[in-house]
Amino acid sequence: MTYPEAEKYLFTSAPLFQQHGKQAYKPGLNTSVRLDQHFGCPHMAYKTIHVGGTNGKGSVAHLLAAVLQTQGYKVGLYTSPHLLSFRERIRVNGEMIPEERVVRFVEEERAFFEPLHPSFFELATALAFQYFKECHVEVAVVEVGLGGRLDCTNIITPALSVITNVGLDHTDLLGTTLPAIAREKAGIFKHAVPVVVGEVLDDTAGVFRATAELVGAPLFFAQHEGALRHSVPGTALNTYESTDYGTLKCPLTGLLQVRNTRTVLAALRHLPMHVSAAAVRLGFEGVCATTGLRGRWERLAMNPEVVCDTGHNADAWRYLGERIAEEAKRRTVHMVFGMCADKDTTSVLSLLPNAATYYFTQASVHRALPASDLKNKAAKMGLKGEAFPDVQAAFKAALTAAAPDDLIFVGGSTFVVADVLQMADTIGNNETIE
């Protein structure tokens, strides 16, 4: 079996949420426990940090991994979804799992797991935990897939649990109110394991306090910790004045990353392992190179400037919309924009700036909202533009129309970003940043 064959097997033999959405979601831990026992409970061989939340959990997970790796620990990192390759989900010290290991997993274990009818995410999680043990990692940063209580990563008992925030997303699966979603995310709390919550709201604080008290978990709110004194968002770097580590600079820019940084700085206070100020500073500054993080206001080219971001729900667009509106005050903005059909498109569209030209499109996944439908919904919000059948066509139209000083933004969905990254080599003679 070749690697492409193994990857195709994983994508097609088990339901993939990335492609199919709700139909691929398999709540509950029974299958995960069976897989875990089959492999000898590998996650018990190393410390873990569990990161959940509606938005920011990927950035927080990568920042924590970067700091720990810079400190000298051998670090596993498990995140989702991927942009270009399944192997992005499973990394050790920033390096993706080898193709050969994925092939061997499918060839050697399919006879066991096929009768269980696992989901794609259950298989990926089992492989990640086993691979981390084989690599003798000292700590693994594990991002929750969806929710928390019934997510298959919730078989671990971590050294620290982190909830970045709670917003209205995946309401068809997690609940239609903030307290209901908070209860699902608080399902990762464990007895005697400290919990750091990045953003506390009136609707969710009581849920977190009650759950922490019920299970006996020490609870800390990052907003009350005082670990972040001051922040200066920038276009190339965000600058932070921290209480514990001095001045920090980070290439993850924008206001949303301020919240994520506050969460990380609070989390570092409650880790049962040492990190130096130097490791924190270097980890923050080198997070993308160290961990392979992509798609967070990532600049792909200049003249015109091309930026992509994976923000895909209203909570993320409260920050992104404001940032793009500011950009539109000083230059022309072209928006290559698509969404998934299972998202709250009305709330997101209401946050988009009117002062932009839109190239409505659809990503190459089954969950994509047809571009014509998106265009019609956007028109009711006063957003003007044309519909394009795929991301490549939309992007090429924007690139043709844009002047050298303009901004082209690509986003609305993780999968729109994935599609534009796939065609990075066709951006043209621009100063492409890989």
Q: Mean pLDDT, to the nearest integer, of 383-390?
A: 96
Q: Mean pLDDT, to the nearest integer, of 357-375?
A: 95
CB-CB contact of 414 with 312 (8 Å): yes
Instruction: Give, rounded to a whole angstrom, the gap between the first and last alpha carbons of the chain.
Output: 30
What percent of the chain lies above the pLDDT cut of 70?
92
pLDDT digits (tens, 9 = 90+) for 227-285: 999 999 888 899 999 999 999 999 999 888 999 999 999 999 999 999 999 999 999 99
3-class secondary structure, 224:
helix
CB-CB contact of 106 with 12 (8 Å): no
Residue 430 pLDDT level (bands cut at 50, 70, 90): very low
Q: Mean pLDDT, to the nearest integer, of 177-182?
A: 91
Residue 55 pLDDT level (bands cut at 50, 70, 90): confident
Q: How far apart are CA 68 and CA 63, in angstroms?
A: 9
The answer to whether the 3-291 and 298-423 domains have the same CATH topology is no
Of 174, 112, 175, 169, nearest in space to 318 by CA: 169
CB-CB contact of 287 with 250 (8 Å): yes
Residue 11 pLDDT level (bands cut at 50, 70, 90): confident
pLDDT of residue 46: 98
Q: How far apart are CA 203 and CA 218, in angstroms?
A: 20
Q: How far apart are CA 212 and CA 291, in angstroms?
A: 31
Q: Mean pLDDT, to the nearest integer, of 111-129?
A: 93
Q: How far apart are CA 85 and CA 104, in angstroms?
A: 17
370: preceding bond cis by omega (within 30 degrees): no
Q: Which helix (H) or strand (E) holds 219?
A: strand 219-221
pLDDT of residue 146: 83
Extents of the domains making up the chain: 3-291, 298-423
Q: How far apart are CA 213 and CA 186, in angstroms?
A: 11
Of 92, 94, 97, 154, nearest in space to 121 by CA: 154
Tokens of 354: 């009117």
Q: Mean pLDDT, to the nearest integer, of 380-384?
A: 94
Q: How far apart are CA 76 and CA 59, in angstroms?
A: 15
Q: Name the CATH superfamily, with its identifier, for domain 298-423.
A: Mur ligase, C-terminal domain (3.90.190.20)
| Mean pLDDT rounded to a whole number for the chain | 91
**Residue 256: what residue type?**
L
CB-CB contact of 333 with 406 (8 Å): yes
Q: Mean pLDDT, to the nearest integer, of 14-29?
A: 54
CB-CB contact of 133 with 97 (8 Å): no
Is residue 98 predicted with pLDDT exceeding 60? Answer: yes
Q: How far apart are CA 399 and CA 306, in angstroms?
A: 9
- As a whole number of Å, the CA-based R_g of the chain is 21
Residue 26 pLDDT level (bands cut at 50, 70, 90): low
3-class secondary structure, 149:
coil
pLDDT of residue 234: 85
Is residue 25 predicted with pLDDT exceeding 60? Answer: no
Tokens 């924007």: give the residue: 398
Choosing among 1.10.472.50, 3.40.640.10, 3.40.1190.10, 3.90.45.10, the CATH entry for 3-291 is 3.40.1190.10
What backbone torsions phi and psi does residue 42 show, to the nearest 5 degrees?
Answer: -60, -30
Of 182, 154, 151, nearest in space to 167 by CA: 182
Tokens of 70: 């810079």
Is residue 19 predicted with pLDDT exceeding 50? Answer: no
